[in-house]
A and B are shown apart, each in its own frame.
Chain A
Amino acid sequence: MRRPWLLGLLLALVTVGIVAALVDSEVSGTGAENVGESGPERTVTTQSPAQEPAVERAPRRCKAIASNPGGTNNYIPDAPTRDSLGSGFVITGLVRSADGCRPLEGVRVQVWLATQTGGEQDNGTSVRTGADGRYRIETDPTVPQFGEPNIHVGYDDDEYGEVFIRRVVDLDDERAVVDLTLARRG
């Protein structure tokens, strides 16, 4: 070895590059926060603007949620409406309008995930929000088909801008909460 320091420097630089590439990544993928919960389900009451005290306020605006990478993985448009996808795990969330932060009733949300009964392409459903702006679907527990249990929630109807969300949960979680704040199209 004529110049051992040169090779040592090269390998040190490669090591720094590898460490930087790993540190730069997100543990579960970009934007895939852990939304899993366990224990008794919380009961949440949503206060609509009509119930709020009648005081003069500037128009409220909530930040619209953005799609995150991997959100459309295994998406099949127009999933059929089903009462449930099994039992043992609940996916729920509040759907609001970015303009006014109001809960949105009757909005169709699509949910898909891998469970013991099949992969993400086999386990999808459409579910509508209730009067309180919440959707809820019970499923079999999600399984780590690709190294970590993950769920997808999407909206792609006409009224609001489309969003496709990928989130992760832990193996022993019983619930996932994915809230969506939607902005009008155009």
Chain B
Amino acid sequence: MAERRALALGAAAGAIVALPLMLALTDRHLADASPALVLSTAAGTLAASALAIQPLLARRRRIARHQLLGSVVLCLVLIHVGALFVESPGDAWFALSPDGPTRARMALIATIALFGVVALGALRPRLPLKAGTWRLLHAYLALVVIALGIGHAVLTDGALDDAGTTVLLVLGAVGLLGVPAAHVARARRERSAGDAS
């Protein structure tokens, strides 16, 4: 039973990663695009998929994988942004400037929150924070990253429009609902452990 469930979850995670990436890479907007733009799109799409998976890993207490995937998301976002600077430095600086479009501001705030959430995860043993405070901060920053990261992708015209937009909204919903679900699951586990003792 547990094996079958793990298999189904693995298949779901595979679909979460593969479907958006396939949609993006086969979209007509990337048909004649430069390698930098293709790389940037692929990295951004994979990061969006990973954001949906992260709360699921936390819920199942796969902490090592959760931490590893968090670092991978950060690397993917840096590759996404770096490739945009290769594609067009002027447009990239403009996007990050105070005059940039809303979607770029969302991405900027999401990236700052991503640095925060990854740092919280990496430094947890060394931070003078109570467990409840740490969890609240981590969950808050994770929600900011998911909401604004997916919002950025939805507002961006290009490889993930139409069906791609629907897929992004589903990824966002899975991620945003996954955060409180992971906390409810942890509270239940702690309660049942308390009852057992």
Contact = CB atoms under 8 A, between A and B. Distances in A.
Interface of A: 1-2, 4, 7, 11, 14, 18, 21-22, 25-32, 69-70, 72-74, 116-117, 119-121, 143-149, 171
Interface string B149-166: 000000111100100000
Contacts of B92: 146
| 6 closest residue pairs by CB, A with B | A69-B99, A30-B99, A144-B157, A147-B156, A73-B90, A29-B101
Contact of A26 (B95, B102, B137): B102
Contacts of B158: 144, 147
Contacts of A26: 99, 101-102
B132 interface: yes
B84 interface: yes
Contacts of B140: 11, 14
Given A7-B133, A147-B156, 5 more contacts: A22-B102, A69-B99, A70-B94, A120-B91, A144-B157
Nearest to A1: B132
Contacts of A147: 95, 101, 103-104, 155-158
A30 B104 CA distance: 12
Interface stretch (B4-12, B27-35, B66-74, B168-176): B27-35
Contact of A116 (B31, B84, B105, B109): B31
Contacts of B104: 29, 147
Contact of A73 (B91, B101, B130, B132): B91
Contacts of A143: 29
B90 A74 contact: yes
B194 to A, nearest CB: 18
Contact of A22 (B106, B133, B136): B106
Interface centre among B87, B98, B136, B157 (most CB of A within 10 A): B157
A12 B131 CA distance: 20
Contact of B94 (A73, A117, A171): A73
B100 A25 contact: yes
A70 B99 contact: yes
Nearest to A114: B88
A148 B91 CA distance: 12
Give the contact-size bracket for chain B: 35 or more
A32 B104 CA distance: 14
A116 B32 contact: yes
Nearest to B159: A144
Contact of A171 (B34, B95, B109, B157): B157
A147 B103 CA distance: 8
A74 B88 contact: yes
Given A144-B158, A149-B157, A29 B34 contact: no
A29 B100 contact: yes
B99 A146 contact: no
Interface centre among A21, A25, A144, A149 (most CB of B within 10 A): A25
B144 A146 contact: no
Contacts of B109: 18, 21-22
21 contacts: A2-B130, A21-B109, A26-B99, A27-B101, A27-B103, A29-B99, A29-B100, A69-B97, A70-B99, A73-B94, A74-B88, A74-B90, A120-B91, A121-B88, A144-B29, A145-B37, A145-B91, A147-B95, A147-B157, A148-B101, A171-B161
